[in-house]
């Protein structure tokens, strides 16, 4: 392969990585026959259409066409280049990589300077280093005492501190900077990670400052365990109570859930995700053994959160604070989850307590009772409507309450969460409380349903944000293109049949661009004489689109079978096509020679020095 790593190293990383484990970190997979199936993350999938083959170590979506090996999945899922995906999985497998010599092309100083690309792998390593620094600071006998006292006061155990990588940003405004300078860590990388603020010019630049100062630090990881950001809780009440890392190539709080790494297996096992608001709420739930709990990061539940939850959970229970702000946040979150076609319920802890305090008072059993007693989304919305309708004295207030409820019903209809009979009952309920005819209510619902459908269409467009889009593949037209495709389908499934092709048909015979690329890679591997598997072919491919193509060809070939006769037919067609092309070229040359001779005669035999014009 061309690139930063030798093919043998790439194969080592590939063989050390189980594709089922990797994809299972992003999508809930279930066994179906000899394969695993799950919702495809590369399109708005509502019925599991992605298959993962543990034997071949490949994945294939039969809806959008995405497919390939474990490298292609990571490239598409995390929007990485091929070398970045290799590095990412090598780090996961604890394999030390040795890069081949690799230099960027020199532009010669022409044109504007291109913005520096941020490498997500290097950024993750910088975050991991910072997390260890914060943990060591918390453990410091003197510097960490106040923070340790606060942690003890909140009843967070030593085991939880270690499990959740809780740390401390000291009160020194440049503590992290000085530690980085001492270890010659690149300050520019820390700035890109949002850990220090200011423009980095050189190591002596005194305008730099730590972003997190005198804060208890909560390490935020993605579902695979990479450190992607931090949350900091003030210890001296200066500034905002909580601040998070800024948006980076790794971190966006609208698309991250705290604790998903720790909770995902239990969420898949139970089919239920419990969502709380705060870091300590989530930590305490796990400390008490409620391990399917995740938390939002100081933001309302977003459509991005809903999409993440849908990959792992069938049902979501929101456990928000029971104060006014908490209930309003929960109310907004219900519509978000409903639009994502999630079964959604709402629970609240007793007045005056947050989930962390409630767990300390009532324990695991009390918290589970709250979760099990959660209200259905439509019941909660109905109770909210009747309460508001009774309290509101103004027509505008009553109208707003009704409109909110109708919006929820329309969203539920669009998501397929309301049966026809239930719709009739709900329309009758609304009719009784507001005194409108049911036909008027249905007409209003139809208008809102149109808006909900447009919103759902936009959401589908956003559903794969952050992923590489799956591109349509042009396999060419005509009999010759079909024969070229047929040959590749066969050889990807039965490479031993290449012996009948070798020396007769070369990769140069393929004139459909994408098929020519596949043939060049496949024939090169087969000419090397090795027993080549599909997975090994994919390891030679850096392009996601080419990986999709190869996986699709292999799957189509497998389904058709009858390899020997199909290969013979394809070879005959390609050979005949090559002969016709050659005849056409010879004919064109003869016609051109006749034409030039006639021109020469008409010109009286001049220009004898021009090739092709001499009699």
pLDDT band, very low/low/confident/very high, at 72 (cuts 50, 70, 90): very high
* DSSP secondary structure letter of residue 258: B
Residue 612's pLDDT is what? 35
The third-level CATH classification (topology) of the domain covering 7-92 is DNA Primase; Chain A (3.90.580)
Q: Is the pLDDT of residue 359 over 90?
A: yes
Confidence band, pLDDT 50/70/90 cuts, at residue 451:
low
**Does the pLDDT value for residue 201 go beyond 70?**
no
The band of 486, judged by pLDDT with boundaries at 50, 70 and 90, is very high
Helix axes 438-462, 420-434, angle to 10 degrees: 120
In this structure, of 76-80, 278-282, 358-362, 556-560, the range with the lowest mean pLDDT score is 76-80
Tell me what pLDDT residue 258 has.
97
| 437-445: Cβ within 8 A, 24+ apart | 441/406, 444/406, 445/406, 445/409, 445/410, 445/413
Q: How confident is the model over 81-107, as a mean pLDDT?
A: 72
Per-residue pLDDT of 538-583, as tens digits, reads: 999 999 999 999 999 999 999 998 899 999 999 999 999 888 887 7
Side-chain half-sphere CA neighbours of 312 within 13 A = 28
**474-615 maps to which CATH number?**
1.10.860
Q: Quick one: pLDDT band at residue 285, thresholds 50, 70, 90? A: very high
> Using 50, 70 and 90 to split pLDDT, how confident is the model at 1?
very low
Return the percentage of the chain with pLDDT > 90, whole number: 42
Q: What fold characterizes domain 253-373? A: Dna Topoisomerase Vi A Subunit; Chain: A, domain 2 (3.40.1360)
Domain covering 118-251, topology: DNA primase DNAg catalytic core, N-terminal domain (3.90.980)
What is the chain's length? 615
Strand order in the sheet with 272-276: 293-295, 272-276, 315-320, 343-348, 375-376
Is pLDDT above 80 for 294? yes
> Smallest Cα–Cα separation from 533: which of 544, 522, 541?
522
Confidence of residue 357 (pLDDT cuts 50, 70, 90): very high
Segments making up each domain of the chain, as ranges: 7-92, 118-251, 253-373, 389-462, 474-615
> Does residue 382 register a pLDDT over 90?
no
- 7-92 and 118-251 share one CATH topology? no
First to last CA, the chain: 51
User: What's the pLDDT tens digit per position in 122-147?
Assistant: 899 999 999 999 999 999 999 999 99
């Amino acid at each position: 392969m061309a690139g930063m790593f030798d093919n043998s190293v790439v194969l080592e990383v590939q063989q050390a990585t189980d594709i089922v484990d990797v994809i299972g970190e992003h999508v809930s997979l279930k066994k179906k026959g000899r394969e695993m199936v799950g919702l495809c993350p590369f399109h708005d999938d509502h019925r599991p259409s992605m298959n993962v083959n543990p034997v071949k170590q490949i994945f294939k979506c039969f809806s959008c066409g995405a497919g390939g090996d474990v490298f292609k999945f990571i490239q598409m899922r995390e929007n990485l280049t091929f070398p970045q995906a290799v590095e990412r999985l090598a780090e996961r497998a604890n394999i030390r990589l040795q890069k081949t010599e690799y230099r960027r092309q020199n532009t010669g100083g022409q044109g504007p300077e291109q913005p520096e690309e941020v490498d997500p792998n290097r950024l993750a390593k910088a975050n991991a280093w910072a997390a260890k620094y914060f943990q060591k600071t918390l453990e410091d006998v003197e510097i960490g005492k106040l923070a340790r006292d606060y942690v003890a006061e909140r009843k967070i155990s030593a085991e939880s501190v270690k499990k959740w990588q809780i740390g401390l940003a000291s009160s020194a405004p440049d503590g992290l900077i000085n530690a980085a300078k001492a270890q010659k860590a690149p300050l520019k990388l820390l700035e890109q990670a949002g850990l220090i603020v200011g423009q980095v010019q050189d190591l002596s630049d005194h305008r730099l400052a730590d972003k997190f100062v005198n804060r208890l630090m909560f390490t935020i990881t993605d579902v695979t365990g990479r450190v992607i950001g931090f949350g900091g809780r003030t210890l001296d009440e200066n500034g905002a109570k909580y601040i998070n890392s800024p948006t980076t190539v790794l971190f966006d709080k609208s698309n991250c859930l705290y604790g998903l790494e720790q909770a995902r297996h239990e969420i898949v096992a139970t089919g239920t995700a419990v969502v709380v608001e705060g870091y300590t709420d989530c930590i305490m739930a796990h400390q008490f053994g409620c391990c399917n709990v995740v938390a939002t990061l100081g933001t309302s539940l977003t459509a991005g959160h809903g999409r993440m939850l849908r990959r792992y959970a069938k049902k979501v229970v929101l456990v928000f604070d029971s104060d006014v702000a908490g209930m309003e946040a929960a109310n907004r979150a219900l519509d978000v989850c409903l639009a994502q076609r999630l079964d959604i319920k709402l629970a609240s802890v007793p007045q005056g307590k947050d989930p962390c305090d409630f767990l300390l008072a009532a324990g695991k059993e009390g918290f589970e009772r709250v979760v099990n007693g959660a209200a259905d989304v439509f019941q909660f919305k109905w109770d909210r409507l009747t309460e508001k309708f009774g309290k509101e004295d103004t027509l505008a207030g009553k109208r707003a309450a009704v409109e909110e409820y109708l919006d929820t019903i329309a969203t539920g209809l669009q998501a397929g969460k309301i049966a026809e009979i239930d719709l009739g009952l709900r329309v009758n309920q609304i009719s009784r409380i507001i005194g409108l005819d049911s036909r008027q209510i249905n007409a209003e619902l139809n208008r809102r349903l149109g808006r909900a459908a447009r919103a759902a269409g936009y959401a589908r467009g956003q559903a794969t944000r952050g992923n590489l889009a799956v591109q349509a593949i042009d396999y060419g037209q005509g009999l010759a293109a079909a024969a070229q495709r047929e040959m590749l389908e066969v050889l990807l499934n039965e490479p031993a049949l290449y012996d009948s092709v070798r020396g007769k048909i070369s990769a140069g015979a393929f004139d459909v661009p994408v098929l020519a690329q596949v043939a060049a890679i496949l024939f090169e591997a087969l000419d090397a004489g090795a027993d080549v598997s599909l997975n090994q072919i994919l390891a030679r491919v850096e392009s996601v689109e080419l990986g999709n193509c190869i996986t699709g060809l292999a799957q189509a070939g497998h389904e058709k079978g009858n390899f020997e006769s199909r290969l013979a037919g394809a070879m005959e067609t390609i050979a005949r096509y090559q002969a016709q092309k050659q005849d056409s070229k010879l004919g064109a040359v003869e016609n051109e020679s006749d034409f030039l001779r006639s021109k020469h005669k008409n010109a009286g035999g001049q220009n004898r020095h021009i090739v092709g014009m001499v009699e």
